[in-house]
Amino acid sequence: MDTEAIILVTGGNRGIGKEVCRQLAAKGQAVILAARDPNKGEAAARDLQDLPGLVTAIQLDVTDPASVERARSEVEHRFGHIDVLVNNAGIDYDTDQDVLTADLDRVRRILDTNVLGMWVVTQAFVPLLRKSDHPRIVNVSSEAGSISHIESWAPGYSTSKAAVNAFTAILARELKRDGFLVNAVCPGWIATDMGGPGGGPLPEGGRSVLWAIELPDDGPTGGFFQNGRPLPW
């Protein structure tokens, strides 16, 4: 990975997304911090302004195709290309639901953000990634979506992350011949607004994502990892 890569992070204004932006900016990378709420995005970028890398906030709501297209156009105009897309935006760790009584309108909202939002953003930004010599796509997933280890809690969230893993595998096969590295990453249970206070330290989750961003060109693709170690599908 180039020392001055251009990296777009969705959901970059808080939690894992903001921590990934922080770690990248600390290494001098050019970071595009994408957030649904432009005010929160600008505030997060200001928090990181003293780091060596340039952090630029843009508005991007992954559930709104018009917003995604505006963001793509803005990024193309300002940067010309990107080297890495980090699909991090996600919602609703619905541990208060069970599969038989789940509110399906709520589940649809989860799938719309966590799966279809990731899909539409990827479709929009692959043309800009094709202009990179080292294109990477990192999909932030969760071990909750591992079919091998799946539990009955958080049915909407777990289903969404299983779908993210399937999307990652399909996408990796589609783009392998073009030199892309496409992987799913589980940051682990981290103390964020969504993860709750019982999780691990935020920098640890960020480092798990950075591992996939910084893979060498001959690194793995189409895998599911945590802290650089393969996880079962």
Hey, which residues are catalytic here?
157, 161
Q: Which long-range contacts (CB under 8 A, 24 or more apart) does 144-150 make?
A: 146/224, 146/231, 146/232, 146/233, 147/232, 147/233, 148/232, 148/233, 149/232
Token output for 10: 């969705």
Give the DSSP H or E segment for 153.
Answer: none
The Cα-based distances of 205 to 38, 62, 116, 133, 189 in angstroms read: 24, 22, 23, 27, 8
- 104 near 156, Cβ under 8 Å? no
Cβ atoms within 10 Å, residue 106? 14
Q: Burial code of 127-144, b = ≥16 C-beta within 10 A, e = fewer?
A: ebbeebebbbbbbbbbbb
How remote is the C-alpha of 20 from its chain's centroid?
Answer: 9
